[in-house]
Amino acid sequence: NAGVTQTPKFRILKIGQSMTLQCTQDMNHNYMYWYRQDPGMGLKLIYYSVGAGITDKGEVPNGYNVSRSTTEDFPLRLELAAPSQTSVYFCASSQQMRGSTDTQYFGPGTRLTVL
Amino acid sequence: AQSVTQLGSHVSVSEGALVLLRCNYSSSVPPYLFWYVQYPNQGLQLLLKYTSAATLVKGINGFEAEFKKSETSFHLTKPSAHMSDAAEYFCAVRNYNQGGKLIFGQGTELSVKP
């Protein structure tokens, strides 16, 4: 059971380039999330998904897109990278059911630098 | 709106001393509260969670936290610090919108001196 895996671990982009951050979970969780963590700050939600084919915006969605075609995968797409997107990105998943405590499990993160 | 405030962005203790990391929350509904630990260059690992079953919650690695509704607090403690406890600690409250997202405090970096 690998849990939540993310690739790549590190990436440097030039301004205006695009890339996709990959996230996969093997726990059959229905909910998945993308957060970003800026220095000295807690994590902020970018996008989330409540199941395959259903996604919605979080607090800071501008400049990002997501899709969820399968239960396992939740890629995050950056179009036209900007220096403000330099951050550490975390993917998380949880199994949410009525009455459950729905703990979120986090991946190891992707460190992205935009120059 | 829900929010979390962690008092002290950096806490330093000696090995063997008590660890106390402070967290206060704001929530209009009964909260689900979490403490996560982040070791350098790693993801977040759940330490413990409060889900209204018991006010004193025991977690991994000897940590525990007490939910105090009257003080809107959920402070994290450990009786005796170990060098391996050096990390960043995040308190979070589960939001009832946006997919149950976690709302995080800004984090507290714990240093342990030999």
- How do residues A3-59 score in pLDDT, each as one tens digit? 999 999 999 999 999 999 999 999 999 999 999 999 878 899 999 999 999 999 999
Q: What Å distances lie between residue B87 and A81, B1, B42, B60, B84, CA to CA?
A: 30, 29, 10, 14, 8
pLDDT, mean of residues A86-109 = 86
Residue B87 pLDDT > 80: yes
- CB count within 10 Å of CB A76 equals 21
Closest partner residue to A90 among B44, B46, B103, by Cβ?
B44
Give the distance from residue B8's alpha carbon to the nearest chain A alpha carbon, in angstroms: 12
Task: Take residue A46 and report the two structure tokens written for it.
Answer: 């970018």
Is any Cβ of chain A less than 8 angstroms from the Cβ of B102?
Answer: yes
pLDDT digits (tens, 9 = 90+) for A61-81: 999 999 999 999 999 999 899
Residue A100: burial class (beta carbons within 10 Å; 0-12, 13-18, 19+): exposed
Is any Cβ of chain A less than 8 angstroms from the Cβ of B62?
Answer: no
Q: Do B45 and A106 touch (CB under 8 A)?
A: yes
Pick B46 or A1 by higher pLDDT. B46
pLDDT, mean of residues B28-32 = 84
pLDDT, mean of residues B73-85 = 97
Task: Take residue B60 and report the two structure tokens written for it.
Answer: 């991994």
CB pairs under 8 A between A and B: 64
Residue B78 pLDDT > 80: yes
Question: If we measure between CA atoms, which residue out of A73, A103, A78 comes closest to residue A91?
Answer: A73
Pick A39 or B89 by higher pLDDT. B89
Give residue B34's pLDDT: 95
Closest residue in chain B to residue A40, using alpha carbons only: B106
Q: Do B90 and A43 touch (CB under 8 A)?
A: yes
Element (H, E) at B90: strand B87-94
